[in-house]
Amino acid sequence: MQDFEPKIVAFVCNWCTYAGADLTGTSRTKYAANVKIIRFPCTGRIDFMILMKAFENGADGIIVSGCHPNDCHYSTGNFHARRRWIVFRNLMNFTGIDTERILFSWVSAAEGFKWADVVNNTVAKIREMGPYENYNKIAVSTLLKEEVSNHE
C-alpha cells in the first residue's frame, strides 16, 4: 500500500477556488500531484451524479470546492450546492458509498495556501484509506437489487 498513488478529482468553481489554485501556483506553494482540477462556472453547476461517474472511473477521492457562503459570483450558487450536497450525502451513505472520500470545502481566490492544505490533507487521508475498490462492488450490488426489484 506504500506505493499507492490515489487518483483525486477536484470539481471547483471558476471564480473562487480555481483562482485560488492559480494563486497557489503563482506563490509557488508545493502540493501533491495526485489532484487534477476540472473547472466549472460555479459549484451550483455541479450535478453530483458526476461524482458517481468519477468513482465509477476509478477515482479514489473527490474534492468539491467553491466560494465561501455569501461570496458566490452568482449570489446563490454555492448555497444550492451545499443544500444539494446535504441531501445527496444522506443518499450516498444509505447506498453504502463512502462519503469520507468526498471533501466539500470553500476556498476563496485569496486562499492559495488553503488550497495546498486542502489538497495535501485530502491526498494523505485517501492514501491512508487505500484505493476505492469497493465502489464497483456497491454499484453492482445496488444495480442487481434494482433489477431484481424491477423484475418482481
In eight-state DSSP terms, residue 63 is E
Q: How many residues bind another protein (CB under 8 A)?
A: 44
Rg (CA), the chain: 16
Q: What pairing do the DSSP bridges indicate for beta strands 8-13 and 61-66?
A: parallel
Q: Is 131 in the site for another protein (CB under 8 A)?
A: no
Sign of CA dihedral 65, 130, 123, 56: negative
- The least CB distance from residue 35 to another protein, in Å, is 9
User: From CA 22, how far away is CA 54, in angstroms rounded?
Assistant: 23
CB 69 within 8 Å of CB 79: yes
CB 120 within 8 A of CB 127: no
Q: How far apart are the two ends of the chain, measured CA to CA in Å? A: 43
Q: Which x/- pattern over 86-125 shows residues binding another protein (rule: CB under 8 A)?
A: ------------------------------x---------
Of the candidate residues 82, 84, 89, 125, the single one contacting another protein (CB under 8 A):
84
Per rule CB under 8 A, is residue 30 in the interface with another protein?
Answer: yes
Which of 16, 17, 44, 63 contacts another protein by CB under 8 A?
44
Q: Which is nearer to another protein, 124 or 144 (CB)?
A: 124
Q: Which amino acid is at 49?
A: M
6 near another protein, judged by CB under 8 A: no
Residues that bind another protein (CB under 8 A): 5, 7, 9, 14, 18-19, 21-22, 24-26, 28-33, 36-42, 44-48, 50, 53-54, 57-59, 73-77, 80-81, 84, 116
